[in-house]
């Protein structure tokens, strides 16, 4: 029964991503400045002229930016609608294809680097997606998974500060002060529980597609946490290189002090 429900949600997500003009506008707003940190982190670990798989590339710009650095890049997304404008970006070193992260159309050990930005929280089966990433990654290759840490207690702090200044909290998660406080407390206790658990505990959530057009990961299907990813990758023979990679000084400080509790997931691992 649970699996049938998840399968149904997966199909609803696919349909939403193929038809929502408003959501596409959110993705199209992801410009070079927005994507630069992701590209910089991937480039830091990619050897020259690497063959890179960029999963969930949305408007395709991140894949194009990586190819500009001399890599051979395949950008993918589940939505033909999202990638519709990317044809003009294709070149000898850059191509795009429609694919589902849960069933990648590539042979085992094809890529030197497999990376994703703001994808993992949107898949209905995060463990399967990670296994697929590892499958198509060459031995010795680099896996980089980035996105929001939806279990971080610091999100509610940001929302409360915003409300105190007369602003608003995040849709779905912290629309009132009471909700923000409850979210922060729940995230703290959940993260602590995950931290001291022996196994990864991937928590599925029902996407709220009615509010997805406002952003804020209302459409997420996995309550993403770097602790889950860390434990799962280690259990499957991957070596964690960086648990919280960062480019900015602020990001480095946060990563050093709170690598499992920070706002963003930026796990870098090597296939052994």
**What are 44-75's pLDDT values in tens digits?**
999 999 999 999 999 999 999 999 999 999 99
Percent residues over pLDDT 70 in the chain: 99
**Stretch 171-176: mean pLDDT, rounded?**
88
Using the predicted structure, report yes or no on whether residue 1 has a pLDDT greater than 70. Answer: no
**Stretch 136-160: mean pLDDT, rounded?**
96
231-236 long-range contacts (CB < 8 A, ≥24 apart) are 231/197, 231/199, 231/200, 232/127, 232/130, 232/200, 232/202, 233/130, 233/134, 233/143, 233/267, 233/269, 235/199, 235/200, 236/130, 236/131, 236/134
At 250, is the pLDDT very low, low, confident or very high (cuts 50, 70, 90)?
Answer: confident
Using the predicted structure, report yes or no on whether residue 2 has a pLDDT greater than 80. Answer: no
Q: Alpha-carbon distance 167 to 64, whole Å?
A: 35
Helix, strand, coil shares, percent, the chain, to 5: 45, 20, 35
The mean pLDDT of the chain is 93
Using the predicted structure, report yes or no on whether residue 88 has a pLDDT greater than 90. Answer: no
**Stretch 216-237: mean pLDDT, rounded?**
96
Q: Alpha-carbon distance 126 to 231, whole Å?
A: 13
Q: Alpha-carbon distance 124 to 176, whole Å?
A: 28
Using the predicted structure, report yes or no on whether residue 247 has a pLDDT greater than 90. Answer: no
At 85, is the pLDDT very low, low, confident or very high (cuts 50, 70, 90)?
Answer: confident
pTM of the model as a whole:
0.94
Q: Alpha-carbon distance 68 to 237, whole Å?
A: 32
Q: Evaluate whether 222 touches 126 at the Cβ level (below 8 Å).
A: yes
- The tokens for 91 are 């070149």
**Stretch 140-147: mean pLDDT, rounded?**
98
- Between these two residues, 5 and 28, which has the higher pLDDT value? 28
The predicted structure's pLDDT at residue 172: 84
At 6, is the pLDDT very low, low, confident or very high (cuts 50, 70, 90)?
Answer: confident
**Stretch 208-215: mean pLDDT, rounded?**
82
At 169, is the pLDDT very low, low, confident or very high (cuts 50, 70, 90)?
Answer: confident
How far from 199 is each of 71, 139, 221, 228, 235, CA to CA, in Å?
A: 36, 24, 20, 8, 8
Q: Minimum mean pLDDT among 158-172, 186-200, 205-219: which range?
A: 205-219
């Amino acid at each position: 029964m649970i699996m049938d429900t998840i399968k149904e949600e997966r199909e609803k997500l696919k349909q939403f991503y193929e038809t929502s003009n408003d959501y596409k506008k959110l993705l199209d707003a992801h410009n070079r400045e927005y994507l630069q940190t992701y590209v910089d982190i991937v480039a830091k670990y990619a050897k020259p002229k690497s063959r890179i798989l960029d999963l969930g590339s949305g408007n395709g710009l991140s894949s194009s930016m990586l190819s500009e650095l001399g890599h051979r890049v395949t950008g993918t997304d589940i939505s033909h609608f999202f990638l519709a404008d990317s044809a003009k970006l294709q070149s000898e070193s850059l191509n795009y294809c429609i694919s589902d992260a849960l069933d990648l159309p590539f042979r085992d050990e094809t890529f030197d680097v497999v990376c994703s930005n703001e994808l993992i929280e949107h898949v209905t089966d995060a463990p399967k997606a990670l296994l697929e990433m590892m499958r198509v990654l060459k031995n010795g290759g680099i896996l980089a998974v980035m996105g929001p840490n939806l279990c971080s207690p610091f999100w509610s702090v940001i929302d409360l500060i915003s409300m105190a200044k007369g602003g608003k909290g995040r849709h779905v998660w912290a629309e009132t002060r009471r909700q923000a406080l409850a979210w922060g407390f729940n995230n703290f206790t959940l993260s602590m529980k995950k931290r001291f658990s022996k196994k990864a505990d991937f928590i599925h959530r029902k996407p709220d597609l009615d509010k997805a057009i406002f952003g804020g990961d209302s459409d997420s299907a996995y309550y993403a946490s770097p602790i889950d990813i860390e434990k799962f990758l280690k259990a499957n023979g991957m070596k964690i290189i960086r648990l919280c990679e960062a480019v900015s000084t602020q990001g480095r400080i946060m990563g050093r002090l709170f690598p499992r509790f920070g706002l963003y997931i930026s796990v870098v691992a090597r296939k052994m």
